[in-house]
Structure 1
Amino acid sequence: MLFRFIDGINEVVGRVICVIAIIFAGIIIYDVIMRYAFNAPTRWAFDVSKQMFGFYFVLLGGYALRYQAHVKVDLITGALRPTPRRWIEAAGYPIFFFPFAWVFFTRSWEFAQRSWAQGETTYGSVQLPVYPLKIAMCVAAGLLLLQGISEFLKLVLNREEYNRHDA
């Protein structure tokens, strides 16, 4: 079914992007060792680690939604039985989530196109291209929107995959 396909995409992306955390940590450790042990700080490590953290942060949004890891305010729904809670949560997607995700997607698309057209780079000591990160924002918005569709379908169809956090 459609939601399994979307869940699979975000699962693969999430697992691949998690590897960036290891690389990210390695760069920071390398820079700290070079700076304090050899008194030879790198010029590139700060900018590279900042960009890698950006990739890591934005691209895991769909993965986090898949596992219900986003912050929720359960003041009302926490006290409800599963069926009314499910319908209230389902109503929240078209009212709040989909408009936000659509604006995020369209604005980040424009943002990425402009950055690509300008050949935008960082202004630090090492000039790295910025447009890959801005393109990643657009991809992340698309993945988040797709995962929202999957979660909405699970709620409406009362699929067990969504109810995993009710136990």
Structure 2
Amino acid sequence: MSPLLACARGLDRLATGAGRLLGWFTLAMVVLQSAVVILRYGFSGGSLALQDAVVYLHGAAFMLGLAYALQTDAHVRVDVFYRRMGPRGKAWVNAVGTLVFLLPLCAFILAGSWHFVASSWAVRETGASADSLGGIFLLKSLIPLAAVTLALQGLAQLARAVATLAQVESPPPKPQAVRESSPRVAEEVGA
């Protein structure tokens, strides 16, 4: 079970690193959006490329942040029963949910977006305006990439759930073992 958990930890580190990077993307998005507002209302100007950069950063933060949200348990879940469950119950829910819902959804997104992204790459799709940022094909590439990173994080979650379910619970200590280990109890028993 150790190699499985080591792989899960590696995938967790990948998601954590991506989450930290996306935090910086969010900060850049706020700074750029502020610059757009200042240019528009302070100087009666603007930049379509800056506006596009805000949209691209927002798309990257959202699409690539999915795996990080799953890893940190920040995703939406109907938590009525889950929060009352023990570790094994939660492991069952996570394992079944990953196998039945998450991985098929990721496969559907990957298969459904592949032609869409390939068509965009074939023409190197850019913006409709001459002064836009361009590179829309790169932005669209985040869709299958998000499906892959989410599926990998789902596999890490599945590995942890399987490890939890595979743990054999040790039986509680026998009452005799407690009596024998205590000298006072041994004297009272008459040993």
TM-score by length of 2: 0.76
1:43 corresponds in structure 2 to 48
Distance in 1, Cα, partners of 2:107 & 2:21 = 25
Distance in 1, Cα, partners of 2:120 & 2:100 = 31
**Secondary structure of 2:164's aligned partner:** coil
Distance in 1, Cα, partners of 2:9 & 2:86 = 26
Give the alignment of 1:62-77 within 5 angstroms. Answer: 62-77=67-82
Choose 58-67 or 120-129, whichever is displaced more. Answer: 120-129
How far the C-alpha of 1:124 sits from its partner, in A, is: 4.1
Say whether 1:26 aligns with 2:12. Answer: no
Give the alignment of 1:95-114 within 5 angstroms. Answer: 95-114=100-119
Choose 143-152 or 72-81, whichever is displaced more. Answer: 72-81
TM superposition outliers: structure 1 runs of 4+ over 6 Å: none
Q: Percent identity?
A: 28
1:54 corresponds in structure 2 to 59
Structure 2 residues not aligned, in runs of 5+: 1-5, 166-191
TM-score by length of 1: 0.86
CA RMSD of aligned residues (A): 1.7
- Higher-Rg structure is 2
Distance in 2, Cα, partners of 1:26 & 1:107 = 34
**Secondary structure of 1:158's aligned partner:** helix
1:147 corresponds in structure 2 to 153
Contact 2:94 2:157 in 1 (8 A): no
